Chains A and B, each alone.
Chain A
C-alpha cells in the first residue's frame, strides 16, 4: 500500500511533511480489534504525546511502529522507509528490565553504538556530547542496580539517544518514578529536545504531562482506537512549572479532558 497523495487526504491530522506515516493499520488480539484501518501522521521534529483510556492501544501502536510487535495489515514508514532501515530509539516504562544489569551504566549507554559504523573516537565523542547535554552529575561507572530509579531511567534515555535516532519512542517513561523525579526528568527530556529537535512520540497516562511536553497531543478513543482529537499546543519552550497555569495550557487541558471523558463514556 502506498502513502496517499496529499490531495486525497481527508482528515486534518494527515500532513505534508510527516516523519512517520501510518496507513491502513490493523491489529487484533484474538477477537479484540485494537486498530482497524487506522491512518495517522506523526510530525517531524516535534514531540507528539499519546493519551487515551487505559488499554486503548497506546503501547500497541508505538510497538508496531518500532517493529517490536507484528501488525496484521497496513504500512508504516519512517521518512518514507521501513522501520528496519532507520535508526530509532525506544525508552521502556520498566527501566529495571530494560537496562543490562551486567554492564556498567556507561557501557549500557555505549552498547548500541557498536551497531553503527563509528570509529572509537566518534563513539567517545557521541557519549561525551550526550553527557554534556544532560549535565550528568551521576557516576556512570556504577551498575544500574546501584542507582536510583530516576538515574536508571536517565541512563535508559541516554542509551536510546546516543545513536542519534531519527525518532525516539517513550512508553510511559516516568510513570515508575516518584513525583519530584518525574518533574526533573520531564525538564531533562525537554532540554534534550530543544538541543536536538529529535522527533519524539511519548505515551503518557498523565494528561498534564502529555500537554506539558507536547507540540501535538494525540487523543485516542477506546479500542478499536481512533483519533479522538489531535491538538496543537504551541506554548514556547522551555516550559516550566508555571506553564501549567498559563491560560493557553488550561484551555487545551479543558478541551482534551472533555474529549477524553466523552470518549470514555462512549465505551
Chain B
C-alpha cells in the first residue's frame, strides 16, 4: 500500500499518454498538428542527445540562472533593509506592488531601447520581474519575524545589528525561499518569451517558435516538454535547497 502511493503520479502520466494516443488514432486532431507520443519522444531524444535541443536547453538555463542570480543579489539585501523598518517598507510598498503587478513583458521595448537586442535585455527584464517578487517576500519575512525571538536576542545582549543578522535574517529564510521559487518561475517565463520574439538565435523559446514556423511539429512538442521539465526541475531544486537550509520551516 505504501509503495503503491509513490507510483500514483504515474497514473496521471499514463492517462495523459492514453488520451493523447486516442486523439492521434481517432484523428480528431489533424495528424500534422498532433504527432504521436512516440514521435515526440523520439524528437526529444534526438534533440537532447547530441542535437540542437540540448544546446537551446542549456542556453535557457544559463539566461534564467543569470537572471535569478542578479535578482537575488539585489533583492535579498534590499528586502532585508526595507523589511527591518516597517515605516520604511510602508513608504515603498506601493511602488513595489505597482511594479510587481506590471507585466514584465510590457518593459521589453524600454529595455530594448536601452540595452539592445542582445542577451542583456532578456536577462535584465527577467531579473527585474524576479527581483520584485523576491524583494516583496524577503521584506515580509523580515517584518513578520517573531517578536519574542527578537526580544530574546536583545535581552541576551545582542546589538541591533546582531539581532538583524542572527534573528531577522534567519526568520526571513522560509519566506525568502518562497520568493526564490516564485521568482525563478517568473524569470523562466520571461526568458522564454524573450527568446521567442526578441532577435534570438537560440534558447528553448526560439526552438519552439522556430519549429512551429518550419512546421516541424514533433520538434515543437519536444521543446515544449523540455521547457516544462526545466520549470519543474527549477522548482524541485529550490524545494530541495529549502529543505536543506530551512529545515525548521513549518515545525
Contacts and interface: CB of A to CB of B under 8 A. Distances in A.
A102 B157 contact: no
Contacts of B87: none
Interface of A: 66-68, 87-90, 92, 94, 97-102, 111-112, 115-116, 143, 145, 159, 163
Interface in B142-177: 146-149, 151-152, 154-158, 166-167, 170, 173
Given A88-B155, A94-B148, 14 more contacts: A67-B155, A87-B157, A89-B155, A92-B148, A97-B146, A100-B167, A100-B170, A102-B173, A102-B247, A111-B156, A112-B156, A115-B157, A143-B248, A145-B251
Contacts of A66: 155
A90 B155 contact: yes
B151 A68 contact: yes
B98 to A, nearest CB: 34
B152 A143 contact: no
Interface on chain B toward A: helix, strand, loop, or mixed SS?
A: helix
A104 to B, nearest CB: 11
B248 A101 contact: yes
A46 B248 CA distance: 38
B248 A145 contact: yes
Contacts of B248: 101-102, 143, 145
Q: Which of A89, A99, A112, A116 has the most CB of B within 10 A?
A: A112
A68 B247 contact: no
A92 B152 CA distance: 8
A115 B149 CA distance: 17
Contacts of B151: 68, 90, 92
Contacts of B167: 100
Contacts of A89: 155
Nearest to A92: B148
B149 A97 contact: yes
A68 B166 CA distance: 18
Contact of B155 (A68, A102, A143, A145): A68
A163 B156 contact: yes
Contacts of B155: 66-68, 88-90
Contacts of A99: 152
Contacts of A163: 156-157
Contacts of A115: 156-158
A116 B156 CA distance: 10
Contacts of B152: 90, 92, 98-99
A87 B156 CA distance: 8
A87 B155 CA distance: 9
Given A68-B154, A115-B158, A143-B248, A98 B170 contact: no
Contacts of A88: 155
A163 B156 CA distance: 9
Q: Which of B147, B154, B155 has the most CB of A within 10 A?
A: B155
B45 to A, nearest CB: 44
Contacts of A92: 148, 151-152
Interface string B90-120: 0000000000000000000000000000000
Q: Which 5 A-B pairs have the closest CB atoms?
A: A101-B248, A115-B157, A112-B156, A145-B251, A97-B148
Contacts of A98: 148-149, 152
B156 A143 contact: no
A112 B152 CA distance: 10
Q: Which of A94, A99, A100, A143 has the most CB of B within 10 A?
A: A100
Q: Which of B147, B151, B167 has the most CB of A within 10 A?
A: B151
Contacts of A116: 157
Nearest to B169: A102
Contacts of B156: 111-112, 115, 159, 163
A156 to B, nearest CB: 9
Nearest to B249: A101
Contacts of B154: 68
A101 B149 CA distance: 10
Q: Which of B149, B156, B157, B246 has the most CB of A within 10 A?
A: B156
Nearest to B151: A68
A241 B248 CA distance: 38
Nearest to A144: B248
A163 B157 CA distance: 10
A102 B158 contact: no
